[in-house]
Amino acid sequence: MTITVGDRLPEATFMTMTDEGPKKIITSEVFAGQKVVLFAVPGAFTPTCHAKHLPGFIHLADEIKAKGVDRIACVAVNDVFVLGAWAKQLGAGDIQFLSDGRGIFTRAIGMETDPPERPYGPRSERYAMIVEDGTVTALFVEPKPGQAIESSADNVLAAL
């Protein structure tokens, strides 16, 4: 079942890169008592994610946070080292990267995709959501692959 507005996020464990190396972090540490913009990408360094989706959140991070957002996080079914390298390359210091390397969180919220025309295995749909204290208050899911319109930083900012 796909997550919808009003649902609570399931408990899951992510990996995030820190200055000391990879660290486990659970859902409640990311979302409890906070207003969070969470967006998901099918893959780090992939064309739409790298050129269109993530850059918008980097560029608008200050404006998004000025709307009362405590944290901006990006989740992907990639390993923590790939996400760490991607964040570093794009200078995404204001965004927390959450590695869902085995896709457990992604599957639990019904956002897993594995289209046969993309030979890299199960990944996440592209989406963005606003989460308040662990509850989804807005959800933006891309209707077609290769787009970053519905889930764009501009669209999320307008909804805040």
Nearest alpha carbon to residue 138 among 2, 5, 3, 1: 5
Identify the active-site residue in 3, 30, 49, 87: 49
Query: How are beta strands 35-41 and 71-76 bridged, if at all?
Result: parallel
In a domain? residue 7: no
The CATH number assigned to the domain holding 18 equals 3.40.30.10
Q: Does residue 35 fall inside a structural domain?
A: yes
Q: Indicate if 74 belongs to the active site.
A: no
In a domain, 4, yes or no: no
Residues near 52 by Cβ (< 8 Å), separated by ≥ 6? Answer: 148, 152
Whether 141 maps to a domain, the answer reads: yes
Number of domains composing the chain:
1
* Domain with 72 in it: 13-159
Element at 21 (helix H, strand E): strand 21-26
Whether the predicted model's global pTM rises above the 0.85 cut: yes
Return per-residue pLDDT of the chain as tens, 160 residues: 799 999 999 999 999 999 999 999 999 999 999 999 999 999 898 878 787 899 999 999 999 999 999 999 999 999 999 999 999 999 998 999 999 999 999 999 999 887 767 667 787 899 999 999 999 999 999 988 777 889 999 999 999 9
